[in-house]
Amino acid sequence: MARQLSCPRCGDEDAIRGSREASRIMLTCDTCQITWDRESPVCATCGGSRLLLTTRRVESMGRGTQTSIIATVEVEICETCDHEVLRAYTDHGQPLPAGYVPYATRHPERPD
Ligand SMILES: [Zn+2]
Ligand SMILES: [Zn+2]
């Protein structure tokens, strides 16, 4: 169960998109077309607030053995817990591998 954010104006949870502006995370509601500053998020694993918004690949198997990248989704990662992928991918401007679940949003009560 991901922690849901809702629009402060219409209360919609499905139309929220996040984007990074400088070091801040801004949220936009597609329904109202309003943007607001996100409150400090915390990591689900360490409880720290050093989270970054980055992208993760969404892949689907194409014909043959080719894997085609069809899209990316925005995910949060923790600078502390997800430092390995942060250095390997985010620091190089690369999206995270498909299927990677950031520690920032990992729930320890749910076994892998
Ligand atoms: Zn709204
Ligand atoms: Zn963490």
Ligand closest to 34 (CA) is 1
Residue 70's pLDDT is: 72
Question: Residue 111: is its pLDDT beyond 60?
Answer: no
pTM above 0.85, yes or no: no
Instruction: Tell me the CA–centroid distance for residue 3 and ligand 1, in Å.
Output: 17
Domain ranges of the chain: 1-39, 40-112
Instruction: Tell me the CA–centroid distance for residue 71 and ligand 1, in Å.
Output: 25
Instruction: Tell me the CA–centroid distance for residue 65 and ligand 2, in Å.
Output: 36
Tens of pLDDT, residues 27-85: 889 999 988 877 667 888 998 888 899 999 987 666 566 666 578 888 999 999 999 99
Instruction: Tell me the CA–centroid distance for residue 12 and ligand 1, in Å.
Output: 5
Residue 23's pLDDT is: 67
Instruction: Report the relative pairing of strands 24-29 and 34-37 from DSSP bridges.
Output: antiparallel
Which amino acid is it at 46? Answer: C
Confidence of residue 90 (pLDDT cuts 50, 70, 90): very high
Which amino acid is it at 59? Answer: E
Residue 1's pLDDT is: 40
Ligand closest to 77 (CA) is 2
Residue 4's pLDDT is: 62
Closest of 44, 39, 96, 105 to residue 72, by C-alpha = 96
Instruction: Tell me the CA–centroid distance for residue 77 and ligand 2, in Å.
Output: 8
Residue 60's pLDDT is: 67
Quote the CA–CA distance of 109 and 112 in Å, as a whole number.
9
